[in-house]
Amino acid sequence: EPEVTQTPSHQVTQMGQEVILRCVPISNHLYFYWYRQILGQKVEFLVSFYNNEISEKSEIFDDQFSVERPDGSNFTLKIRSTKLEDSAMYFCASGGGFDNEQFFGPGTRLTVL
Amino acid sequence: AQKVTQAQTEISVVEKEDVTLDCVYETRDTTYYLFWYKQPPSGELVFLIRRNSFDEQNEISGRYSWNFQKSTSSFNFTITASQVVDSAVYFCALPKETSGSRLTFGEGTQLTVNP
């Protein structure tokens, strides 16, 4: 069964460093998302991506964040200069249609020291 | 703006008990979808159900059932004969109002099923 994959599973970085989180969405899906979950809290939307551009972003998704679909399979989230408060689990998701169910990857746990 | 409320922060039951997880939502849309996701201790988010607001019939899938009541803006989830493997955090979610696809999640309910 097709699934969303994410790498790495855990990333530790120093404050101020850049990180790139990688995702491979389900191959025939057209809508891609990043969400994050701070430990013990609810899941929060960051950004959605469709037709090679950002379709929506939240107030969390400031200039430090960017997304890219560099080829036909990968979908990346870059944080340019990490802060302590960026420590969270980052989930990638993909969906086959605008209001279809979103399937989530296993997440990348980002720890900023 | 839409809102999802899961008032039960934690529920603890003994195996084989039935348990209902509550979800109350607010939206100005007249048609919308509702979702439930499961987050087991391993951390991934597992899709459980997507329900259209047009359809108020109860949905049953094995030991899982969902009761959607538009009149009370509730979409409750019942697990029958709970098992230890059902222990997880369960999230209810609603897409953004007016043709949005971003999901707004509730705070989640931590369900612990004890042997």
Q: Using a CB-CB distance cutoff of 8 angstroms, which residues of chain B are in contact with residue A61?
A: none
Residue B16, helix vs strand vs coil: coil
- Whole-angstrom distance, CA of residue B22 vs CA of residue B8: 7
What average pLDDT score do residues B78-102 get?
90
Mean pLDDT by 10 residues, chain A (113 residues): 92 97 94 95 94 92 94 93 97 89 96 97
Interchain contact B77–A (C-beta under 8 A)? no
Look at residue B109 and tell me whether its pLDDT is greater than 80. yes
B92 Cβ under 8 Å from any chain A Cβ? no
Closest CA to B101 of A106, A23, A57: A57
